[in-house]
Each structure stands twice: as C-alpha cells, then as structure tokens.
Amino acid sequence: MAWLGLAGSAWSAPPTVASIEALLAATKSEALIAKTGADLERNMRDAVQASLQGRKPSEREQQVIDKMTRESAALIRQELNWSHMRPMMVQIYQSTFTQEEVDGQTAFYRTPVGMAVVEKMPAVMQATMAATQQSMARLMPQLQAIAKKHMAEAQAAGAAAGTPPAGAKP
C-alpha cells in the first residue's frame, strides 16, 4: 500500500520547465504576449486621442504627445516581451499547476478543439474587455456620486472633530 502514496506524490510533483514550455508553445503564448504589448500601445494612443476630445493639438502639444507615446511604447516593449515574460510565466505555472495538469492542458491544446480555443480566445478576451469597459462607463457617474457623497461625509466628520480636510494646508 505504500506505493499508492508514492504514486500520488509523483502526480502532484511540480511540472518540469520543458513541459511548461511545451504548454506555452501549444497555447502560442509568445505570440499572445507580443499581441498584448501591441494592443496596450494602441490603447494608449487611443486614450491620448480621446483625451483631446476631438481637438487638434498645437504643434508643441503634438511633440509632447509623440515623445510620451514613444517613451511609453518603449517601456511596454521592454517589459512585455517574451524574453522577460517567459521566465515569470514558467515560475507561475510551476507554482500553480502539477505535472499532470500541465500534461493534460498540453494534450488538450494540441487537439483540434484546443487549437480552436487558442485561436479564438484573444477575440473572446477583447470582447469581454470591451463589454467590461462599457459597463464601467455606465457605472462611472454612479461611482463618482458615491465617492462625492462619502468624501463630503468624511469632510463633515473631520470638520466636526476639528480635523482639516484632506489636502488642506495647515
């Protein structure tokens, strides 16, 4: 019966680096990381444009915007690249999954259904993010009202206690 305990511990062993790399390859993680970085850069540029609210920036403003965009994009490329992310992902997978779980996922992602999931999941995630952003946009006025109400309440409580409001200079 002692062999049963050994068999159980073998299955719960941490996955090997090679098996995790096989899973990352099956899920096309390197391409996903590259796409994520490119998407973040695009979202950043879109946010800058949205902040202008349709106004054409002056030449100097455009220079500053371009500089900020270049520096931000360089930082994103520096941090969200495969050589930087791969070791972190391997460590996360090793601390999260067992060898059996990694092997099972790899087998799944190598099937036609698994490959379809890999191909379609970025679109699912993008649609989910868009829906979440729309939900947050609808909630924002209510969240701001709640914050305003409670900030006023906190300031009133502070005033009653003789405490200056946050941000006030002594």
Residue 169 has pLDDT above 70, yes or no: no
Cβ-Cβ contacts under 8 Å for 97 (sequence gap 6 or more):
15, 105
What is the spatial distance between Cα 123 and Cα 128, in angstroms, rounded to a whole number?
A: 8
Tokens of 80: 């969200």
Range with lowest mean pLDDT among 20-29, 41-50, 94-103, 156-165 = 156-165
Helix (H, G, I), strand (E, B) or coil at 119: helix
Mean predicted lDDT score pLDDT of the chain: 87
Average pLDDT in the 39-62 region?
86
| Closest C-alpha to 24, from 110, 84, 121 | 110
For the stretch 120-150, pLDDT in tens is: 998 999 899 899 999 998 999 999 999 999 9
**What pLDDT is attached to residue 11?**
55
Other C-beta atoms lying within 10 Å of the C-beta of residue 69: 14
Cβ-Cβ contacts under 8 Å for 40 (sequence gap 6 or more):
76, 80
Residue 47 has pLDDT above 80, yes or no: yes
